[in-house]
Chain A
Amino acid sequence: MLEARQLQFGFRSNVPLLETLSLRLEHGEWLGLSGNSGAGKSTLGKLLAGLLTPQHGDVYVDNKPLTQRGLRPVQWLAQSPELAVNPRWRVGKTLREAWTPSDALIQDFGIRRDWLERLPNALSGGELQRICVLRALAPGVRYLIADEISTMLDPITQVELWQALKQHARHHQLGVLVISHDAALLERLCTRRVHLAGGVLN
């Protein structure tokens, strides 16, 4: 279980963006997080992934505090994959830096082998996003924070990406937090939904 206990965070210390916020994400659960832009959705995602440190409160992964060392059990997936890869590395190297997925899994995500030999600028956003999602599925990863990962994709690619992810998550009992503006998408994907407004969840 991924658990945020009484998180408090503000970019300027006297203006809290999130106030004593608690959240639980079970193994294998799909939780949807919605909210207006600027509400702090992405910030909450980054806190849960350990990319930001809360001013108060803690994040626990399976009842142990989130550590900053080694492979992170909570992986954060960014909206723009271009910013999440080294532009000078061929994407195969980027992928293998994390782990070496099986051919079957590569195929499930609709990734063609020759893409791996290319540089990021020779791939489209959708193609690169699939690589980034696959990269985050290394063994040892227990939770995913999917921050608007499908907004730049066309409907069919979206469906394919989510289906591949859903299948993998079910198989490995991953907990997934889906952050999106798209109410219809959250409705489809998630069993439970929360809305972030004014620094609190409801």
Chain B
Amino acid sequence: MLQINQLNLQLPHYRKWWRREWATCIEDVTFDVQPAEIHAVIGASGAGKSLLASTIMGLLPEGAKATGQLYFDGNLLTSEHQQRLRGHQLALIPQSLNALDPLVRSQRQVSWAARRAGNPHTVAWQLAREALSHYQLDRDAQRRYPHELSGGMARRVLTAMAHVSRANLIIADEPSVGLDPQQRNRVLAALKALALEGKAVILITHDLRHALPIADRVTIMRQGRSVETTQASAFQGQGEQLQSTYARALWHALPNNAFSTSPTRLSSKEPTLA
């Protein structure tokens, strides 16, 4: 479905107004996503996870330098392609709930997404209602403005927008952050359902523990590099099946496991990206 080949990304940043410097944010990232698969991309904050999503969607800020190839359904994904496929074939569930228009009721927003996917107005309106009902948002919630929704409900509105677009590749950026366990499970179950429908899902998160039960494969990112891509089932026991020390350290750090930073102490000793 999507193949990422040796992706590199550099972003400019300004020190003292005019002195431009380049920060390497993604370096040599290679992995692929198959239909009906949830591929979790896991990493610490600042590992370049969200930038990876922006790169796939073609939503990078101006001035970014990206090299490497993206293939979507076997075709090279250029920026013109990305622009055309966005909202049809590629859908992003953004991290920030600010992505919702604060002045528009949820059903109307979702119907916009349906229209972008090529549905006529009346059909789009109907589709939006069905999609929102599908995510357990009742008629009352469909008429609410974003600020009247809880975090979990707003997240499900965003998921509904990705759903009505009928996109084959869905990128969910930190969909579970800030939600209580019940809401989180609902949102993750919604993603799992999308994968079962045959869509490819990229789940971007730092929350290894809750990504594992629904993910098929996992790519661990660290400081812009992909450290390891493995089956989600490799995270078990003492982590013997994990190749990299970093993946093992992540696994060990979970409160249910050792809750320690051994065997290797990380992050503070090594330079992080600017």
Contact = CB atoms under 8 A, between A and B. Distances in A.
Interface of A: 36-37, 79-80, 107, 110, 112, 122, 124-127, 151-160, 163, 181-182, 184-185, 187-188
10 contacts: A37-B180, A79-B178, A122-B13, A151-B178, A152-B45, A153-B44, A155-B206, A157-B267, A184-B256, A188-B259
Contacts of A151: 177-178
A159 B249 CA distance: 11
Nearest to A163: B261
A180 to B, nearest CB: 10
Contacts of A153: 44-45, 206
B260 interface: yes
Given A79-B178, A127-B46, A159 B206 contact: no
Interface residues of B, number: 29
Contacts, number: 73
A58 to B, nearest CB: 30
A117 to B, nearest CB: 10
Interface in B249-269: 249-251, 253-256, 259-261, 266-268
Interface of B: 13, 42-46, 177-178, 180-183, 206, 208-209, 249-251, 253-256, 259-261, 266-268, 272
Contact of B261 (A112, A156, A185): A156
Contact of B254 (A110, A112, A125, A155): A155
Nearest to B259: A188
Given A181-B180, A185-B255, A188-B259, A156 B250 contact: yes
Nearest to B180: A37
Contacts of B206: 152-155
A112 B272 contact: yes
A126 B44 contact: yes
